[in-house]
Homo-oligomer: A and B are copies of this chain.
Amino acid sequence: MAAMIEPARIREAARTVDALSLIEQGFVAYSQGRVVVPPVAEMIFDDPPGEVHIKYGYIKGDDVYVVKIASGFAANPKLGLPTGNGLMLVFDRTGALECLLLDEGYLTNLRTAAAGAVAAKHLAPRRVTRVGILGAGVQGRMQLEHLRKVREFGEAVVWGLGEAELAAYRRDMEGPGLRVRTTLDAEEVAASANLIVTCTPSTRPLLEAAWIRPGTHITAVGSDTPEKQELETAVLGKAARVVVDSLSQCRLRGEAFHALRAGDVALDDLVELGAVIAEPGLGRRSEDDITVADLTGVAVQDIQISKAVWAALKPPAP
């Protein structure tokens, strides 16, 4: 019978995998057309309000396929539960379930943070003065943690909605070699950081184009629907290079979707992250460039991370 793996064991196994390389390889495979990723399946709930996304696919030649089911129910916190939840299913190529990873959304958080680090590795200026994070939640923490693997920096400035969550963020994240400053003013982040990651569920732009200084890289990971938006569309218009995780997805959701609709960028201007990884000349051309990476989350990330975690957990073949 299939294995059902609980959250604690998944987190433990995830610590042993190199998420960054896995996601990097996944994006390259995706942009080379070696990954089958059908459109995201989506189910909307009115009462109580919520949404379920199903992402699924496989890498050609692999001996597994993966289905991820992720949910967000806004009323959960009232019940003492986190808004998000999720699980991943790894099937073999006969259709038999190999394992159910009950990760409660942790692996999605991990692969999203790893993707942020991959984007920064290939697009951020070499010298990072200060990292800026918009969103003081779980993803805001994980992004900062993963950025330390690709750039050296001693200070972060973090924007959030309230003093309490910002204080908690600083308490959790500050440590040897890392000072954390907090602010309620997003403009302050743009003014003091040259590597910025936005990871909020905002439906209104948080960063204005006028604030963005030359030599800044911004990765937007919060928006994964047509409704959500973290960047003024002119931010993308101002960028020397706009990179997306998936051209087909970013036409329909996320920051690029809004900027395309507003006419601030054209489809031909967009380049996939996997293409930039494979051909660095497609990325940043000078330390003064403004660059933007728009990450909506692609099933290949789920495939890569769940495969690796399952490989670390599964009993050896007899």
Residues of chain A having any CB pair with chain B under 8 Å: 1-2, 4, 6, 36, 38-39, 41-45, 48, 50, 52, 54, 56-58, 65, 67, 69, 71-73, 76, 79, 81, 84-87, 89, 91, 93-97, 100, 102
Contact A96 B100 (CB under 8 A): no
Docked CA distance A72–B1 (Å)? 19
Query: Assuming the A-B contacts A93-B73, A94-B76, are A102 and B50 also in contact, with contact meaning beta carbons closer than 8 angstroms in the complex?
Result: no
Docked CA distance A45–B61 (Å)? 10
Contact B102 A95 (CB under 8 A): no
Name the residue of chain B whose CB is nearest to the CB of A55: B41
Contact A73 B87 (CB under 8 A): no
Enumerate chain B residues within 8 angstroms of A102, measured Cβ to Cβ. 1-2, 97
List 25 A-B pairs, Cβ < 8 Å: A1-B6, A1-B102, A2-B4, A2-B102, A38-B41, A39-B41, A41-B56, A43-B56, A43-B57, A43-B58, A52-B56, A52-B91, A52-B95, A54-B54, A54-B56, A67-B69, A71-B91, A73-B95, A76-B94, A76-B95, A81-B96, A85-B95, A85-B96, A87-B97, A97-B102
Chain B min CB distance to A71 (Å)? 3
Name the residue of chain B whose CB is nearest to the CB of A85: B95
Name the residue of chain B whose CB is nearest to the CB of A2: B102
Chain B min CB distance to A64 (Å)? 11
Name the residue of chain B whose CB is nearest to the CB of A38: B43
Contact A95 B67 (CB under 8 A): no
Chain B min CB distance to A93 (Å)? 7
**Candidate in A39, A43, A44 with the most chain B CB atoms within 10 angstroms:** A43
Query: Assuming the A-B contacts A2-B4, A41-B41, are A94 and B85 also in contact, with contact meaning beta carbons closer than 8 angstroms in the complex?
Result: yes
Query: Assuming the A-B contacts A54-B54, A100-B4, are A72 and B43 also in contact, with contact meaning beta carbons closer than 8 angstroms in the complex?
Result: no
Docked CA distance A71–B67 (Å)? 12
Chain B min CB distance to A191 (Å)? 38
Enumerate chain B residues within 8 angstroms of A89, measured Cβ to Cβ. 69
Enumerate chain B residues within 8 angstroms of A93, measured Cβ to Cβ. 45, 48, 50, 73
Docked CA distance A97–B100 (Å)? 11
Chain B min CB distance to A260 (Å)? 24
Name the residue of chain B whose CB is nearest to the CB of A36: B43
Of B1, B44, B56, B81, which contacts A4 at CB under 8 A?
B1
Of B4, B67, B72, B94, which contacts A54 at CB under 8 A?
B67
Of B6, B69, B79, which contacts A94 at CB under 8 A?
B79
Enumerate chain B residues within 8 angstroms of A57, measured Cβ to Cβ. 43
Docked CA distance A86–B86 (Å)? 20
Docked CA distance A49–B48 (Å)? 41
Enumerate chain B residues within 8 angstroms of A43, measured Cβ to Cβ. 36, 38, 56-58, 65
Query: Assuming the A-B contacts A43-B65, A45-B58, are A71 and B52 also in contact, with contact meaning beta carbons closer than 8 angstroms in the complex?
Result: no
